[in-house]
């Protein structure tokens, strides 16, 4: 007789007021198996994870762990069962050492006192088990996102976790770092642990997972072995329909010699130079960066984490001051002392970290959309709620934001809809140049397609777009030209229509 699965969820349900988050959710996890949990933003994945980790209690259904029915009443109860979670945003303590972070809830003791020597020894052993060379005495403050994930995994192993939940663990990692993390996932599986792997990156799902479970509108709509399905089938299950091409068809790139007054489809001017960057340098982040951008063009910027891409975008928006070099907008020198100068010059910036830098989550959609436009929305120096509401309603409609209305708090929306609101707030300023840093990070395939269509439409209407992305298929699929950065310098530039993934990767990785 075969042993019971490590975890079985049956007909799980959860409501928040009148909103259904989960209904008839089913999940079975086997020891020594990686299961991908797939679904669009708002499908119920986060609610399910919070039930498994004792943050929420289900309204209905049963949870069985190791063949017996259990009630996970708190995070400590989940921990006692052997359930650990590695979040997309690392939950760590900056000013503590790696060893202290690993054993933060259960430090080894001797005679009632913390045994610091044993703590560092045991933390070092766990790190070596993960093939990491990190020093247990090092502070978290100096670690990369990928290294912080390793610390979280070591913490899970210190609890002798039998089920490890990974929630978008590679969202902020370079390809090399993501590959390293997937090797750790394989190691956890080989040790007999169950891994629940949540990701919007299908290439990772097909590479790492043994099985899949698809949630849609809070219900399980598909499950099986990953070798028995394909991308089209998973997307159909997620969306409840066949989904069109992920990347909209690329129009002909603007002609380099196009005279002002040429036209894009729809009658917008095309081809004239909007931005020129010449030998720009910034502290130790990047140096000697030069490129140009034309009206109606999408310039994709690719590079590994640490290449200087985000720092360059911050300089172009006045968040950092360059050490030397020159920026020209419409052929005129541009000095950016702060973001206000950039906004007044017609530059908009959607940062990579939308939750902490791009939005005020606790405020309403109306407040977020109106924020960069307050000067023109006011009446006699006073804020006009009516004008702000009308502006938010306009962009909710244009971007098809799924929400209850302008007064709803932004934090209540899914990640994809939050991203649409952040885009809308900047598009409301009628920019001439739109900078997008990782515009589809952590959002589902349906929301990605909506963002991609919007980007292409904006470029077609004459907006100049800079898109920073760590996803090579996105860079190749959305860009007209590609600029590759490596170690703070421009390594290469390509015409996206005539280059390959291998060429771009070679430029980003080979000195």
Mean pLDDT of 2-16: 90
Domains belonging to the chain, first-starting first, are 7-239 (3.40.50.300), 262-509 (3.40.50.300)
Mean pLDDT of 236-263: 57
Q: What is the pLDDT of residues 374-387, one digit of tens each?
A: 877 777 667 788 88
Q: What is the mean pLDDT of the chain?
A: 86
Of 17 and 264, the one with more pLDDT: 17
Dihedral angle at the C-alpha atoms of 123, 125, 130, 135, nearest 10 degrees? 60
Mean pLDDT of 437-447: 79
Q: Where are the beta strands (DSSP E) in 283-423?
A: 286-294, 298-302, 324-329, 332-333, 347-350
pLDDT-based confidence at residue 180 (cuts at 50, 70, 90): confident
Three-state DSSP class for 161? coil
What is the reported pLDDT for 55? Answer: 92
Mean pLDDT of 224-250: 80
**Residues in a beta bridge with 69:** 64
What is the reported pLDDT for 500? Answer: 86
> Is pLDDT above 80 for 345?
yes
The string over 469-505, giving b where at least 16 C-beta atoms fall within 10 Å of a residue's C-beta and e elsewhere, is bbbbebbbbbbbbbbbbbebebbbebebeebeeeebe
pLDDT-based confidence at residue 143 (cuts at 50, 70, 90): confident
Alpha helices in 18-109 (DSSP H): 45-52, 75-81, 98-102
What is the reported pLDDT for 481? Answer: 94
């Amino acid at each position: 007789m075969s042993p019971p699965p490590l975890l079985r969820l049956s007909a799980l349900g959860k409501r928040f007021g009148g909103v259904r988050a989960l209904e008839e959710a089913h999940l079975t996890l086997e020891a020594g198996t990686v299961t991908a949990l797939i679904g669009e933003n708002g499908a119920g994945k986060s609610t399910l994870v919070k039930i498994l980790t004792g943050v929420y209690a289900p309204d209905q259904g049963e949870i069985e762990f190791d063949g017996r029915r259990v009630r996970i009443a708190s995070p400590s109860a989940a921990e006692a069962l052997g359930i650990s979670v590695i979040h997309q945003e690392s939950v760590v303590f900056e000013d503590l050492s790696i060893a202290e972070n690993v054993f933060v809830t259960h430090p080894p003791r001797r005679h009632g006192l913390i045994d610091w020597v044993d703590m560092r020894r045991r933390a070092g052993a766990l790190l070596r088990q993960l093939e990491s060379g990190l020093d247990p005495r090092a502070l978290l403050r100096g670690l990369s996102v990928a290294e912080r994930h390793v610390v979280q995994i070591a913490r899970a192993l210190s609890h002798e976790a039998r089920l490890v939940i990974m929630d978008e663990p590679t969202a902020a990692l370079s390809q090399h770092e993501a590959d390293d993390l997937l090797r750790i996932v394989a190691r956890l599986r080989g040790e007999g642990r169950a891994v629940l792997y949540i990701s919007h990156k299908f290439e990772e799902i097909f590479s790492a997972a043994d099985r899949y479970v698809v949630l849609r509108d809070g219900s399980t709509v598909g499950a099986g072995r990953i070798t028995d399905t394909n991308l089209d089938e998973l997307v159909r299950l997620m969306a409840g329909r066949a989904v069109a091409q992920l990347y909209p068809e690329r129009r002909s790139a603007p002609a380099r010699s196009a005279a002002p007054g040429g036209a894009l489809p729809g009658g917008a001017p095309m081809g004239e130079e909007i931005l020129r960057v010449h030998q720009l340098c910034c502290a130790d982040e990047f140096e000697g960066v030069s490129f140009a951008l034309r009206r109606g063009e999408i310039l994709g910027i690719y590079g590994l984490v640490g290449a200087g891409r985000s720092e360059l975008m911050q300089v172009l928006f006045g968040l950092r001051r360059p050490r030397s070099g020159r920026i020209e907008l419409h052929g005129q020198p541009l000095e950016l002392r702060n973001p206000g100068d950039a906004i007044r010059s017609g530059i908009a910036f959607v940062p990579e970290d939308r939750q902490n830098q791009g939005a005020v989550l606790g405020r309403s959609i109306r407040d977020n959309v109106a924020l960069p436009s307050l000067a023109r929305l006011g009446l006699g120096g006073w804020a006009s709620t009516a004008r702000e509401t009308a502006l938010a309603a306009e962009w909710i409609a244009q971007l098809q934001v799924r929400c209850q209305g302008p007064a709803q708090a932004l934090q209540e929306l899914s990640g994809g809809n939050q991203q649409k609101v952040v885009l809308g707030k900047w598009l409301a300023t009628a920019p001439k140049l739109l900078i997008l840093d990782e515009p589809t990070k952590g959002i589902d395939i349906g929301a990605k397609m909506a963002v991609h269509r919007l980007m292409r439409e904006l470029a077609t209407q004459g907006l100049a777009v800079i898109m920073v992305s760590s996803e090579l298929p996105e860079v190749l699929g959305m860009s007209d030209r590609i600029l590759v950065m490596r170690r703070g310098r421009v390594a290469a530039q390509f015409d996206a229509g005539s280059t390959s993934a291998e060429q771009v990767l070679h430029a980003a990785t080979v000195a």
